[in-house]
Amino acid sequence: MGTEQFVRLEVADGIGTVRLDRPPMNALNRAIQDQLRDVALELPQRDDVAAVILYGGEKVFAAGADIKEMATLSHARMIVHSHFLTDAVELLAKVPKPVVAAITGYALGGGCEIALAADRRIIGASTKLGQPEIKLGVIPGAGGTQRLARLIGPAKTKDLVFTGRMVDAQEALRIGLVDEVVDDDKVYEAALTWARQFVGGPAQALRAAKAAIDTGLDVDLHTGLEIERQLFAELFATEDRTIGMEAFVAKARPEFEGR
């Protein structure tokens, strides 16, 4: 598969940018899937990263899987191969830090599924998103039927998956697929603004909040409330809880340590 680097983790001022870089369309071949997985495994270990931006560059986020590569795979090989992107996206979704997707151009198929793994999605005004796999005789295979349905509901998901159509920025915002639309040249800047607010924040509480919300979506309410209660109580063992409450009582600004 070669050693060319298609995914880079660039860290500056507490923000980790996961940069997809496989011109011209950031097609998600096996190498980029493996490299995404490696970065997703690295991010939880990086104490110098408070929040994460997923970014494909100024022109395109990711226009989907590498169809030329995929078209050569037999059923037997796809049984194995199908795990690679799914596992990479799952690991991205489990990064215990705030994650925002900064989306330009197109986020289609696997590209849209990567964006769905983020906690927030910010797109440019001319961006288009979609799950066009049905037009290839297949269905989304890395979360497009599952995370999308949890985000926008089953009826809207069926419309997008059954038809394979693309949605523009305003429709994406209206149906809740994305959270913010900005000028095309302001996408990364807007994502950076959102991510910066977590630098110096209570990292353990943010980790617990994300775990409680994401895990709670997959269980019944009673179980979700118990998960929330346990995570809440566990935070009383952290230094940040002491710092935050003492600062509140003293009417001072807390200086969290992330511990």
Are 178 and 232 part of one and the same domain? no
What's the domain range around 234? 203-249
Whether 257 is covered by a domain: the verdict is no
95: CATH: 3.90.226.10
Instruction: Give how many domains the chain has, as a whole number.
Output: 2
**Integer CA distances (angstroms), 57 to 18, 82, 89, 102, 232, in order:** 10, 26, 19, 9, 38
10 vs 1, higher pLDDT? 10
Are 222 and 190 part of one and the same domain? no
Are 187 and 152 part of one and the same domain? yes
pLDDT reported for residue 122:
98
2 pLDDT band, cuts 50/70/90, is low
Round to whole Å and give the CA distance between 205 and 9: 24
Whether 51 is covered by a domain: the verdict is yes
- Residue 28 is classified by DSSP as B
Q: For this structure, is 113 an active site residue?
A: yes
- Mean pLDDT to the nearest integer, 203-212: 97
Whether 256 is covered by a domain: the verdict is no
Q: Which amino acid is at 215?
A: T
- Given a cut of 60, whether residue 140 has pLDDT beyond it is yes
Of the residues 10, 58, 133, 228, only one is catalytic, namely 133
Preceding peptide of 98 cis, ω within 30°: no
Whether 259 is covered by a domain: the verdict is no
Of the residues 42, 113, 226, 228, only one is catalytic, namely 113
Are 83 and 67 part of one and the same domain? yes
